[in-house]
C-alpha cells in the first residue's frame, strides 16, 4: 500500500515503562496485597470493569505520601529503545499517541523526567480528604465511552478519533495487557506481549510479538520493505460498525 501514514497508539504501563508503574509504585501504598491481587484478577477475568477496579484499588491505598510517591516514580525506567523509536517515527512522519488506563500524575512526571513530549490520553488522579481528614485518592475518567461499561479510558475511541482511513492512515497498537484487549480488535497492526498475546491468539487477531521497541522498529521496516503495511479487513469492518452506530 503506497502513500500510507502510520498512526501509533502506545500503551504506557509495562510497554513504554519497564514495569507496570501502577503496580510497582502506587502499589507500594497498598498493604493488603492479597486483596490487590484479587482485584487485578477480577479485572483480567472481565468480572469487574476497569473503572470499578481502579476505584477499588485506589481505595486500598493507605498512608499516601506525595514525596515518597515521587521518589518511587523517579526510579521507574522506560524501555531503552523508546526514545530511538520516537526519533524513528519523527523521521518517517508517524504520529505517536500514548493511551493508558493509568493516571495522569505519574505519566506526566515520567515523560517530563525523560524529556519526552508526546500527546497522552489517560485517567485523572483526584485527591480528596475523608471524614478523618486523611488524604485519599480517587479517579476521574475524562476519556470514557458512555456506551462502554468496561473501559475507564476508551483506547478504541482514541484510535477511531485520530485515524482517518480516507487519508490512508493506518492504526498501529502497541500493548501488553487486559486494558489493550478491546483496542486490539480495531487496530490495523497490533504489536503484543504478555497477556495481549494470549488474547490476540484466542480471538484470531493478527499480531506481531515484541520484547522492546527495537523489535517493533525492525518489524515495521520489514513490513514496509515487503509492502505489507495495509488495513486489516476485520478491524476495518468493526470500525465501520462503530461509525454507522454513531
pLDDT tens-place string over residues 226-236:
999 999 999 99
| Cell numbers that stand for 45 in this block | 477475568
Residue 31: the pLDDT is: 93
Point out the residues of the chain with pLDDT beneath 70. 1, 246
* Strand bridging mode 5-10 / 95-103: parallel
Residue 215: the pLDDT is: 98
Task: Identify which of 150, 142, 206, 157 has the alpha carbon closest to the alpha carbon of residue 179.
Answer: 150
Task: Identify which of 158, 152, 153, 143 has the alpha carbon closest to the alpha carbon of residue 95.
Answer: 158
The CATH fold assigned to 5-17+78-245 is: Rossmann fold (3.40.50)
According to CATH, where is 3.40.50.1000 located in the chain?
A: 5-17+78-245
pLDDT digits (tens, 9 = 90+) for 213-225: 999 999 999 999 9
| Dihedral pair phi/psi, residue 49, rounded to 5° | -75, 165
* Strand bridging mode 169-175 / 95-103: unpaired
- Find out whether 236 and 165 touch, Cβ atoms under 8 Å: yes
| Dihedral pair phi/psi, residue 76, rounded to 5° | -70, 140
125 DSSP β-pair partners: 139
Q: How far apart are CA 203 and CA 158, in angstroms?
A: 22
| Contacting residues for 62 by C-beta, under 8 A, at least 6 apart | 29, 30, 31
| Cell numbers that stand for 46 in this block | 472481565
Residue 150: the pLDDT is: 86
SS3 at position 160? helix
Amino acid at each position: 500500500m503506497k502513500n500510507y501514514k502510520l498512526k501509533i497508539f502506545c500503551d504506557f504501563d509495562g510497554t513504554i515503562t519497564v514495569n507496570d508503574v501502577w503496580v510497582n509504585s502506587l502499589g507500594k501504598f497498598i498493604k493488603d496485597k492479597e486483596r490487590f491481587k484479587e482485584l487485578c484478577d477480577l479485572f483480567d477475568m472481565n468480572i469487574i470493569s476497569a473503572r470499578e477496579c481502579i476505584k477499588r484499588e485506589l481505595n486500598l491505598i493507605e498512608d499516601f505520601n506525595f514525596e515518597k510517591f515521587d521518589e518511587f516514580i523517579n526510579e521507574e525506567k522506560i524501555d531503552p529503545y523508546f526514545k530511538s523509536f520516537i526519533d524513528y517515527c519523527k523521521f518517517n512522519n508517524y504520529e505517536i499517541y500514548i493511551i493508558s488506563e493509568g493516571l495522569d500524575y505519574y505519566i506526566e512526571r515520567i515523560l517530563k523526567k525523560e524529556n519526552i513530549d508526546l500527546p497522552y490520553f489517560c485517567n485523572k488522579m483526584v485527591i480528596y480528604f475523608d471524614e478523618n481528614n486523611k488524604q485519599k485518592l480517587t479517579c476521574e475518567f475524562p476519556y470514557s465511552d458512555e456506551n462502554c461499561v468496561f473501559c475507564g479510558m476508551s483506547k478504541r475511541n482514541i484510535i477511531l478519533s485520530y485515524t482517518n482511513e480516507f487519508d490512508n492512515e493506518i492504526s498501529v497498537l502497541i500493548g501488553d495487557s487486559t486494558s489493550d484487549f478491546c483496542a486490539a480488535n480495531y487496530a490495523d497492526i497490533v504489536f503484543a506481549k504478555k497477556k495481549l498475546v494470549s488474547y490476540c491468539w484466542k480471538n484470531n487477531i493478527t499480531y506481531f510479538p515484541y520484547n522492546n521497541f527495537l523489535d517493533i522498529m525492525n518489524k515495521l521496516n520489514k513490513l514496509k520493505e515487503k509492502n505489507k503495511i495495509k488495513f486489516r479487513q476485520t478491524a476495518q469492518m468493526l470500525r465501520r460498525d462503530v461509525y454507522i452506530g454513531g
